[in-house]
Structure 1
Amino acid sequence: MNTHRRHSASRFFSTLCFLTALMVPGLSPSLAIAGGKPGVVIQVSENDPAKWNLALNNAGNLIQALGGPDKVDIEIVAYGPGLAMLKADSVVGERLGVAVSDGIHLSACHNTMRAKHVEQRDLYLGVDVVPAGVLEIMQRQQGGWAYIRP
């Protein structure tokens, strides 16, 4: 098995185990962060509606599995080519609106915005801008948030 397939299989298995543990009583890992609710950061760095739909499905499934949007903090961070899906004219725009109304935080990388000449007004309403997408993901992980990359 080549390195890419091995890495993808490992990532898939890790995500599957995490989600399974959330749904099986008695197996749930300690997800609370310093006495608060768990946090999950989802990376999307591809301009692919299928990846975005998968990320949005993962977020929605977590909300449902954990008992509602008030039980988990979820942030989807887009950078690189993935930024295109957060634009106001995105093909997944309708789903972004549902995500925002469900309490899912959508974050766009300012570095990518600057490189691609994208302004805040070009983004879907409700999208936040973070200084650097990779830094945002790193800081969330350091803060105890789970990391998912569909």
Structure 2
Amino acid sequence: MVIQVSDNDPAKWNLALNNAKNLQDDVGAANVDIEMVVYGPGINMLKLESPTGSRVADAMKANVKVVACENTLRAQKLSREDMLPAISYVPAGVTEIMKKQGEGWAYLRP
């Protein structure tokens, strides 16, 4: 499952994180790959001081991959040092989603 998070809203982030956890609980974490693709205003929730930072870290420990869009980082003049540790990066968030869908991944935008 690829989950798009492009909103700068802790409630939307918590919903997306809940969706990921519920999916893992329902089908078994070993039976599903989950990638959260973050771009646009949503990138703010991946900053070091993010109100959802601890939940993002917990999701990554549970094997949810979290990727940030490098186009968004450049546009917002952010560096990797501004971001939560252990997240991954892709050149373009929208392209990542398109690729995943082309590979047959289910798509979710909470």
Q: CA RMSD in A?
A: 0.6
Following TM superposition, where does structure 1 have runs of at least 4 consecutive aligned residues deviating by more than 2 angstroms?
Answer: none
Q: Tell me the secondary structure at the aligned position of residue 125 of structure 1.
A: coil
Task: Compute the TM-score of the two structures, normalised by the length of structure 1.
Answer: 0.72
Indicate the structure (1 or 2) with the bigger Cα radius of gyration.
1
- The whole-number CA distance in structure 1 between the counterparts of 2:12 and 2:59 is 15
Could you tell me which amino acid in structure 2 is paired with residue 106 of structure 1?
A: V
Task: After TM superposition, list the pairs within 5 Å mapping 1:1-150 onto structure 2.
Answer: 40-67=1-28, 69-150=29-110
1:59-96 Cα distance to aligned partner (Å, 9 max, x none):
000000012x2211100011000000011110001101
Could you tell me which amino acid in structure 1 is paired with residue 47 of structure 2?
A: K
Task: Compute the TM-score of the two structures, normalised by the length of structure 2.
Answer: 0.98
Aligned residue pairs, count: 110
Identity level (%):
54
> Structure 1: any 5+ residue segments left out of the alignment?
1-39
Q: Tell me the secondary structure at the aligned position of residue 107 of structure 1.
A: strand
RCO greater where, 1 or 2, for CA within 8 Å and sep 6 or more? 2
Could you tell me which amino acid in structure 2 is paired with residue 50 of structure 1?
A: A
